[in-house]
Amino acid sequence: MTGRRGRPPKDVLSRDRILREALALVDEDGLAAVSMRKLARRLGVDPMSLYNHVDGKDALLDGIAEVLLAAIPPPPPGAGLRETMSALAHGFRAAMLGHPRAAPLVLTRQLASMTALAPVEAVLGPLLAAGFPPDRAVHALRAVLAFLIGTLMREVEAAPTFSGTDPEGVRRRLETLEEAGLPAVSAAAPFLAVCDHEAEFEFGLRILLDALAAG
C-alpha cells in the first residue's frame, strides 16, 4: 500500500531501515542481543520479511558495520597527506565512539563491500599521491589500521577503573602497582593505573603522522 501520490509510507521496510534499527538495538542492548527474530519484533514485521533485504544474521552484522563506516566524513578537499590522514583517523574514531557497542563489528570483522573499501581508498590515495610506492603505501595503511583498531578496541572495552570513572578501583589498582616491587612500574604507577584515551590517541597518531611525513 502506498501513501499519497503513489509514494510509499515512511515505515516501508528497506535494507537501510533494517540496518539502522539493528544498530539502535545494538546501542541499547549490545551485540549479543541481536537476532533476526528480535529485530523483526522491533520493526513489527514477520521475521521472514527481513530476508528479502539482508541474507541472514552475518549479513546483518556486516551491514551494521557498513553503516558505521559510511559515517566517516571525507577529508577536506585539497588537503595534504598529514591533514588528510589526521582527518580520517579522527573521523574513524568519532564514528566508532558514537556507537561503542557496535564498534567491534568494524574493528574485528573483515568486510569486502564497496562501503568497507572506501576508507581503504581514502587512505591509499593520498599516500600514493605523496609518492609512496604501492607496497609502502599498503604497509603504511596497515600500520595506521593496526594503531586505530588497537587503541579503539582498548577504548570501547575499557573497564571503569582503567577509564578513571571508578575512583575506588583506581585507588586499588594504584596500590597494586606501587607495591609490585618493580622499580619502573612503581615509578609510572599513577599513569599506568588509568588511561586518558584521547591523550593516548593523539600521542600515538602524532607518532604515526610524523613517521609518514618522514617517508
* Residue keyed to cell 501513501: 3
CATH ID of 4-68, from 2.60.40.10, 1.10.10.60, 3.40.50.300, 3.30.360.10: 1.10.10.60
% of the chain exceeding 90 in pLDDT: 62
Q: Measured between alpha carbons, how far is 183 from 180 in angstroms, rounded to an integer? A: 8
- Residue 141 pLDDT more than 70? yes
Poorest-confidence range of 33-37, 132-136, 148-152, 155-159?
155-159
pLDDT digits (tens, 9 = 90+) for 176-215: 999 989 999 999 999 988 888 999 999 999 999 999 988 7
% of the chain exceeding 70 in pLDDT: 94
**Number of neighbours of residue 46 by Cβ within 10 angstroms:** 11
Q: At what angle do helices 114-129 and 81-97 cross, to 10 degrees?
A: 160
pLDDT digits (tens, 9 = 90+) for 13-37: 999 999 999 999 999 999 998 999 9
Q: Hey, is 166 helix, strand or coil?
A: coil
Determine contact, residues 79/88, Cβ cutoff 8 Å. no
Q: Give the global pTM.
A: 0.84
What are the percentages of helix, strand and coil residues in the chain, rounded to 5? 70, 0, 30
In this prediction, residue 8 carries a pLDDT of: 45
Determine contact, residues 75/45, Cβ cutoff 8 Å. no
Architecture of domain 77-213: Orthogonal Bundle (1.10)
Mean pLDDT across 107-132: 85
Spans of all domains in the chain: 4-68, 77-213
Mean pLDDT across 83-92: 93
Q: Measured between alpha carbons, how far is 124 from 106 in angstroms, rounded to an integer? A: 19
The set of residues, in sequence order, having a beta carbon less than 8 Å from that of 185 and lying 6+ positions away, is 177, 192
* Residue keyed to cell 571508578: 166
Cell of 164: 578513571
Query: What mean pLDDT is reported for the chain?
Result: 88
